Amino acid sequence: MPSKINVAVVGLGTCAQAVHLPMLQRRHDRFHLSAVVDVSPRRLREAAEKWGMDEKRRYGSVKDLMAAVRSKDVELDAVVFSADGVKGEDILQIIKRGIPVLVEPPVAYGTEELQAIAEFERMAGRPLVMLAYGALYDSSVRLLVDENQARDLRSLEFETLMPASSVMHGKHHVTSAAYDLPSEQRIARRESLKEAVEKGAGPGANQRDRDIYVKGLLTGLLAQLALLRSTYGPLVELHGVRHWPEQVIPGSIEVLGALEKGVHVRLVWHYLPFAPEFHDAIRFVTNRRQGRVELPHTADLDTRGSFTFTQKSDGAIVTSERLSEFSPAYGLHEAFYAFAAKGKEPSYGLTEALEDLEVARAVLGELALVEGRDINAEPEPEPESEGAGAEQESRGHGAEAREGSTVVAENPLTETPIVSAPEPAEGEFAAVSSKGAEEGEVEISEQSAPVQAERSEAKNASGNEPSEA
């Protein structure tokens, strides 16, 4: 393969314009932008003009792009897939031609869709999908692992503060979201996404569960799980989970657990639309030192992470700091080049994504279990009469599950019997074990004023504005 590879970008939303297109342009020694794809005619036109793509290299769908590849109208070695919505069918079209793909997560909303892609990759006999978690490629993360062995770690705490998209991406002057699709196509896309989310969250999940799943767990928790996996391994024990405030989606999510090497971890993810800046940090404590890793957002193209630690040296307390060699955005696209041009296995692919998606569903299951619900249970049939008596009876069962009863389930990660306590008071955890989208596409049921304020400010907690791409 030549030293420079031909790349197409699918989905010209915020992530594409703030991260991928600028980096592909900067690294013109590595990449040649051969085509762009977006289902929105207006966004396709505006973004393509901004990035110097003539009409011959613009496509309205992955299907049209693949047709151009077959007819040899486009030379294509790799694809950056940053579109929102249901992605499985489009990704399969690409990898069935043997073209490697860098995908903005999540790849899928449920394990069934993800398994279909993974099965084809397995049949192909080589990795074809890489997930775009930029923080994995910040060298400060590698310093953390190289200088602190797992057996010496007492604890790891990972906290993310996610502000509104405008805070993280405003300086990139992203073209506005476009809603110019025919109504039939918009409805079909919305229904497809709704079906995928309902199937992914589980038949027993309610609308609130699904909102937390999409806007909090798939957006925030999966990124934290991916980074932890790249350091000391996957989360294998789930000790406690909680979400707050109750009426705010996605709000804040906290997870307590342990990694496969016995390292105890605490994950906290906050969505605060009015916060002034993005914050991502890992705090660690070992037998002899303590410190932190600070990670910039991938859209901060030139900002590098840092590794800081404090320890005793010759009787004195010494604090040292080291900066990363390059930014997460730079490291991500270097890894993408090695993956696409040289066949190097990605740090995080479909196998890892499947395992962590199961963890996210387990967390969702425990949040629902506290309220006496099982997300995997088929919903009960509607009663013939829904008068005041039926409503009161339903409320009574919910109160009993929350306030008095003990819910017995299986450990979501080890399949051993566990007991989940009643709903915790404010500031307490939901006990799990005694040991160790597009924004706007998923309809929200009744919302309080705080929820609406958070939604109105938020473009999309993952960084993509609501668009049809």
As for how many domains the chain has, the answer is: 2
Asked if residue 301 and residue 418 are part of one domain, the reply reads yes
pLDDT at 98 over 90: yes
- Whether the upstream peptide bond of residue 182 has omega within 30° of 0, thus cis, is no
Asked if residue 148 and residue 118 are part of one domain, the reply reads no
Establish if 232 belongs to a structural domain.
Answer: yes
pLDDT of residue 30: 97
Asked if residue 90 and residue 183 are part of one domain, the reply reads no
Asked if residue 297 and residue 226 are part of one domain, the reply reads yes
pLDDT of residue 299: 94
Establish if 208 belongs to a structural domain.
Answer: yes
Asked if residue 181 and residue 42 are part of one domain, the reply reads no
Asked if residue 191 and residue 95 are part of one domain, the reply reads no
The values of phi and psi at residue 153, to 5°, are: -75, 130
Encode pLDDT of 283-294 as tens digits: 999 999 999 999
pLDDT of residue 356: 97
Encode pLDDT of 397-430 as tens digits: 443 334 333 333 445 565 543 333 344 444 445 5
Tell me which residue range forms the domain holding 97. 5-135+335-342
| pTM (predicted TM-score) | 0.82
Asked if residue 173 and residue 51 are part of one domain, the reply reads no
pLDDT of residue 2: 63
pLDDT at 275 over 70: yes
pLDDT at 18 over 80: yes
Instruction: Please provide the average confidence, as pLDDT, over all residues in the chain.
Output: 85
Asked if residue 406 and residue 308 are part of one domain, the reply reads yes
Asked if residue 401 and residue 268 are part of one domain, the reply reads yes
What CATH number is attached to the domain comprising 159? 3.30.360.10
- Is 33 or 445 the better-scoring residue by pLDDT? 33
Encode pLDDT of 104-123 as tens digits: 999 999 999 999 999 999 99
Establish if 359 belongs to a structural domain.
Answer: yes
Listing DSSP states for 196-241 in one string gives HHHHHH-TT--HHHHHHIIIIIIIIIHHHHHHHHHHH--EEEEEEE
Q: In the beta sheet, which residues pair with residue 265? A: 156, 257
Establish if 396 belongs to a structural domain.
Answer: yes
Asked if residue 117 and residue 36 are part of one domain, the reply reads yes
CA 138 to CA 452: how far, in whole Å? 35
